[in-house]
Amino acid sequence: MGEVGAAWAVARPLARLRAWTGLVLMAYTTTHLANHALGIVSFDLMRAAHRQVAVIWHTSPGEALLLASLVIHVLLALVVVARSASLSWPRWQWLQLGLGLGASVILAQHIAATARMEAVVGANADYAFVLRGVWPDQALVYAIMLIAIWAHGCIGLHYWWRIRRWYVRTQPALLVVALLLPALAIGGMAGGGRDVAQASPEVQAQWAAAGNWPSREEAARLIAEGRTEILAVVFGGLVVAIAIRIGSTIAARRRTVQVVYPSGHTVRANAGLTLLEMSRAAGVPHAAVCGGRARCSTCRVRVTAGLDALPPSAPAESRLLERLGSPEAVRLACQIRPTSPISVLPLVAPPAALADARAEADPSLGREREIAVLFCDLRGFTQLSEKRLPYDLVYILNQYFRAMGQAIDDAGGHVDKVLGDGVMALFGIDGDGPEVANNALRAAASMSEALERLNDDLAGELDTPLRLAIGLHLGPAVVGVMGHGAARQLTAIGDTVNVASRLETLAKQADAQLAVSDVLLRRAGIERAPDTDTMLRGRGERLPAHIYPDARTVLQPTAEPA
């Protein structure tokens, strides 16, 4: 195993461990915020609910899991800082790191002090004891801790889940919870704190005796000792992580790598950086929706030179690229660490949107597949338009597009685009096999029937009936979301599309409704000698095709082509 492979063998389990320890901490935070919120109703309800929460978190296994998760999560965050060859991170990552380290210090003090009091003096640090120490002098610090911890967790979950389709549907509801829960918790803490502070001396004495509470002075001493230990661990670890990172940077500067971008822009970057880090360090815009964690593919590039010198893909990168059907030359910029000159072409223009990441997670997009392509044109439309008012023309066209689109939809097709008075449709985006060809033929027949009904409906508006010319072909094409901004859409490109367009022209020349390639007809299970073997414009080989004056006859076994 090479240096990069060994690094990946360590990095991926650590990333998973960091995610799972974060989920443990988020579960702890969520249950406690919900418990705090009950203080808005009464302290008694708050305390009764805490007894149920204590069954999970205030047992020896629960406390061990919680404290271990906190320590591991913080240490792994420091490892990320130490192992990062560049700190050119997005702002959200810096915000998450800062909130996490700050909140972990306060939370660790709280957990350590509670555990120390239970171990040293045998105190039961229940809600009344904690609120007596927090309210009112430490209320602001405690509220800041709650908000920081919650914000840190929410940022992490958001950037983890935001490329998942289910998250798009639930995000509004989750946002409401994310905003309301800490606000209710702080309100409940204030209400519970006032109730404890206003309790009679007799009631407070009963609480203290039942819980074996230490004096305020003893509690302050134990909290201070816990604070010192936690600060030493966290900030000592941070200093070590930064020192390691600085040392790595100094060592890496002795070796540089040349990277050439499509514009001809050439940069020299420190060896050991990922390609994404090199782009960021040089100020070259580079898309990366997931922040460079191999959870999306928006940072992918086509390596145009230097591919042979790159180490093979690690398992996580390979799985993602295989899902996309990417060729060998396509790699994830967040995963490759060039050690020799390299030329790359970024495949997603920055800034990438979430839609880019979600669309690319769909294996039906951005890959080559066999599809059927239909082109349809309204014949004689130029003469029709010369005799009509614009409003009448728009009305007729809308009726025509609605009828054709419904016929295509009912046959399982996808209307790709409307071109003037023409329509382009795709079949087989979600599947393949004989049904793709049959669906395309069924759509052509249904379009002919729909046109006849439309001519009957518009008989009083038209001097001559509307006529169609349809071209159908089946073959390989590149299917994906293409375009820019609002014009981005699912479409197909390739020779199959061009042939279908030429077949539509052939149908016009033959004064027929349909021209369909022999390959599509045979795929549909219809064996029939082609009636034309023509050289289509722009092609270097002849194409056997069938001509049907009436497209409705294409699925009739006894029908004869023209």
Bridge partners (DSSP) of residue 479 are 367, 492
Return the SS3 of 543.
strand
Distance, in Å, from the CA atom of 189 to the CA atom of 208, rounded to the nearest integer, reads 20
Q: What is the pLDDT of residue 234?
A: 64
CB atoms within 10 A of CB 241: 19
Distance, in Å, from the CA atom of 454 to the CA atom of 472, rounded to the nearest integer, reads 22
Q: What is the pLDDT of residue 201?
A: 80
Give the per-residue SS3 of 57-114: HCCHHHHHHHHHHHHHHHHHHHHHHHHCCCCCCCHHHHHHHHHHHHHHHHHHHHHHHH
SS3 content of the chain, % helix, strand, coil (to 5): 60, 15, 25
Q: What is the pLDDT of residue 4?
A: 38
Distance, in Å, from the CA atom of 204 to the CA atom of 84, rounded to the nearest integer, reads 52
H/E run at residue 468: strand 467-482
168 and 87 Cβ atoms separated by less than 8 Å: no
Helix axes 43-57, 165-197, angle to 10 degrees: 120
Residue type, 238: L
Q: What is the pLDDT of residue 500?
A: 92
Return the SS3 of 200.
coil
* φ, ψ of residue 462 in degrees (nearest 5): -110, 140
Length of the chain: 562
H/E run at residue 17: helix 3-37
* φ, ψ of residue 534 in degrees (nearest 5): -110, 155
Choose among 25, 7, 28: nearest CA to 17.
25
Q: What is the pLDDT of residue 196?
A: 79
Distance, in Å, from the CA atom of 375 to the CA atom of 123, rounded to the nearest integer, reads 80
Structural domains of the chain sorted by starting position, each given as residue range(s) with its CATH number in brackets: 3-251 (1.20.1300), 256-360 (3.10.20.30), 367-553 (3.30.70.1230)
Return the SS3 of 557.
coil
Distance, in Å, from the CA atom of 181 to the CA atom of 46, rounded to the nearest integer, reads 15
Distance, in Å, from the CA atom of 362 to the CA atom of 113, rounded to the nearest integer, reads 49
Choose among 312, 355, 307, 352: nearest CA to 335.
312
Return the SS3 of 302.
strand
Kindly give the pairing relationship between strand 367-379 and strand 422-427: antiparallel
Kindly give the pairing relationship between strand 467-482 and strand 367-379: antiparallel
Non-local CB neighbours of 127 within 8 Å, separated by 6+ positions: 43, 46, 47, 50, 192
Distance, in Å, from the CA atom of 376 to the CA atom of 139, rounded to the nearest integer, reads 71
Distance, in Å, from the CA atom of 527 to the CA atom of 311, rounded to the nearest integer, reads 50
Q: What is the pLDDT of residue 7?
A: 40
Q: What is the pLDDT of residue 230?
A: 65
Q: Is 436 exposed, middle or buried (0-12, 13-18, 19+ CB in 10 A)?
A: buried
Choose among 125, 174, 112, 143: nearest CA to 36.
143
CB atoms within 10 A of CB 284: 17
Choose among 13, 14, 19: nearest CA to 290.
19
Distance, in Å, from the CA atom of 519 to the CA atom of 526, rounded to the nearest integer, reads 10
* C-alpha to C-alpha distances, 396 to 78, 391, 409, 417, nearest whole angstrom: 67, 9, 20, 18
Residue 66 token pair: 């919680």
Please, what sign has the CA dihedral across residues 451, 452, 455, 457?
negative
Distance, in Å, from the CA atom of 84 to the CA atom of 322, rounded to the nearest integer, reads 27
Q: What is the pLDDT along the chain (562 residues), one digit of tens a residue?
A: 344 344 434 445 677 788 888 888 888 889 888 988 888 888 888 888 887 777 777 777 877 887 788 778 777 777 766 666 555 566 767 777 777 777 666 666 666 666 666 665 566 667 777 777 777 777 787 788 788 888 888 888 887 787 677 887 888 899 999 999 999 988 888 888 888 778 778 877 777 777 676 666 776 676 666 666 666 766 676 677 667 666 666 665 567 888 888 766 788 887 778 888 888 877 788 877 776 666 777 788 888 888 888 888 877 788 777 776 677 888 888 888 888 888 888 877 666 555 555 555 444 445 677 899 999 998 876 666 666 667 777 888 888 899 999 999 999 899 988 887 889 999 988 766 678 999 999 999 999 999 999 888 887 777 788 889 999 999 888 787 776 666 667 788 888 898 999 999 999 999 999 999 999 998 888 888 777 777 666 555 678 899 999 999 888 754 444 4
286 and 333 Cβ atoms separated by less than 8 Å: yes
Angle (nearest 5°) at CA 77 between 75 and 78: 65
Give the per-residue SS3 of 415-457: EEEEECCEEEEEECCCCCCHHHHHHHHHHHHHHHHHHHHHHHH
Distance, in Å, from the CA atom of 471 to the CA atom of 554, rounded to the nearest integer, reads 13
Q: What is the pLDDT of residue 472?
A: 95
The CA R_g of the chain, rounded to the nearest whole Å, is: 34
Residue 434 token pair: 């004989």
Q: What is the pLDDT of residue 2?
A: 40
Q: Is 554 exposed, middle or buried (0-12, 13-18, 19+ CB in 10 A)?
A: buried
